[in-house]
Amino acid sequence: MMQVLENIQQAISSLDLQKRYFLAISTAGIGGLLLYRAWTKKSQKISVGDGWWRTEEKPLTEDRTIRPFVVETSKEMLEDLYRRIDQTRYTDSLQDCRFHYGFNSTYLKKVTSYWRHEFNWERQVKVLNKYPHFKTNIEGIDVHFIHVKPVQRKAGQKVVPLIMVHGWPGSFYEFYRILPMLTETEEDVVFEVICPSIPGYGYSEAPHVQGFNTLDAARIFHKLMERLEFSEYYLQGGDWGGFISCNMAQIKPECVKGLHLNMINARAGSTLTIFCLLVGRYLPFLVGFTREDVRRLYPYMQKNVYDLLKESGYLHIQATKPDTAGCAVNDSPVGLAAYILEKFSTWTDYKNRDLEDGGLERKFSLDDLLTNIMIYWTTGSITPSMRFYKENMGKDFHKRVDNVAKIYVPTGLAAFPHELIHCPWVWASSKFRDIRSYTYMPRGGHFAAFEEPELLAQDLLQFVKKVESKKAK
């Protein structure tokens, strides 16, 4: 190497002054071009235009009012619910089937009995109203959100805005256990949290025309934050919330101080992925796998590939004919509960299928689970929530601009062991180009904020501290 450098130096020395000047200018030009290309690539943003989600013509002026909202209930609604529950027709479970055929109807009767005779919806409505709710009209639809500010701010404590986005079949209520850990912390950083409902979910109005996808939701949530007068903020999400948060980072990276995800969606390229899987078990260091990646990937890849097929039947239905299935579960509260709660069982841990009760009450209370069900039931939002799959998973979904574009904002990744698919750091780095933290979480599955709020809060906090400390320097 030294000999090569000496030869280059001698060659440059042999040039006359004019040629040296030309070489210097050319080198500077090429270097400048490379720097410009790197800068433009890093600052590249996705352009998503604008939207209007009503059948009526868009008015000339937009109502930007933010209105307080209160969750309410009525005697008539509860009477209708109880009548429907009482008229449910059950099918007996097969002997020793546990949760392998779906929601075990023997245990379903126990859940339904609790719902009918012990669950107190009026009390849970008060729990929901614990935090301030609001609605505002964006792109023609009413968007619901809760806005939780720090209860008490200590001297020197920095308040940072954070938007947390839920997925399916969850809701903003998933974050109720984690909110006190973020807004009442004694750490140097405390959060001001905004939790919106995705349009078509819960108390957010559903789009009235076709085509509403994660990019549109991301654009609407940026508009929401702008309307709340935030110019910079952090993002956190899993499931659809993860997709939407990623899109927000791609659309307006200048507004995103950091992106934190508890479901990691990244592709290393089909050829590279296959190579990694073939080689990774025997020579993990060669493809950038850690021992923990090997532990999490290979039992899944070798023995449980079929699990993903078994657990994705809902996806094929909702991505093709959501209204057909939706009309059934929207009409039957017990059908709705079985459809949704089965996901809270299996997506928490695949091994829950071996249990008679699906392991539901190991991580959740029936009150919390049924509160989430009631948000869907009382708003009639299950069908529009299912349509979100069809709108996002159309033709050439994997070629859509956001799926091929990189993300350059500071990123924190929390890899929970029972998430549906494990994504190693080396794969994640192909999409997320500024990973500040990657944590192998010790326990937990798909519904991180609902299952393990303390773990998620700790990981989010350490990530934000890293980003803030670097900005300070």
Write out the catalytic residue numbers: 239, 389, 446
Alpha-carbon distance 450 to 341, whole Å?
Answer: 13
Alpha-carbon distance 221 to 96, whole Å?
Answer: 46
Burial 162-171 (b: 16+ CB within 10 A, else e): bbbbbbbbbb
Q: Where are the beta strands (DSSP E) in 174-220?
A: 189-196
Question: Which strand (E) or helix (H) includes residue 241?
Answer: helix 240-251
Report DSSP state, residue 31: H
For β-strands 133-138 and 411-415, DSSP reports them as: unpaired
The secondary structure of 64-83, three-state, reads CCEEEECCCCCHHHHHHHHH
Alpha-carbon distance 237 to 198, whole Å?
Answer: 12
Helix (H, G, I), strand (E, B) or coil at 174: helix
Q: Residue 235: what residue type?
A: L
Give the list of residues 6+ apart from residue 20 with CB closer than 8 angstroms, or none: 12
Question: Which strand (E) or helix (H) includes residue 323?
Answer: helix 322-329
Quote the tokens at residue 294: 């090997």
Report DSSP state, residue 129: T
Integer angstrom CA distances of residue 427 from 131, 166, 422: 38, 24, 10
Task: Determine the Cα angle at 295 with ends 260 and 175, to 5°.
Answer: 30
Alpha-carbon distance 459 to 236, whole Å?
Answer: 11
The sign one gets for the Cα dihedral 270, 276, 277, 279 is positive
Alpha-carbon distance 245 to 213, whole Å?
Answer: 13
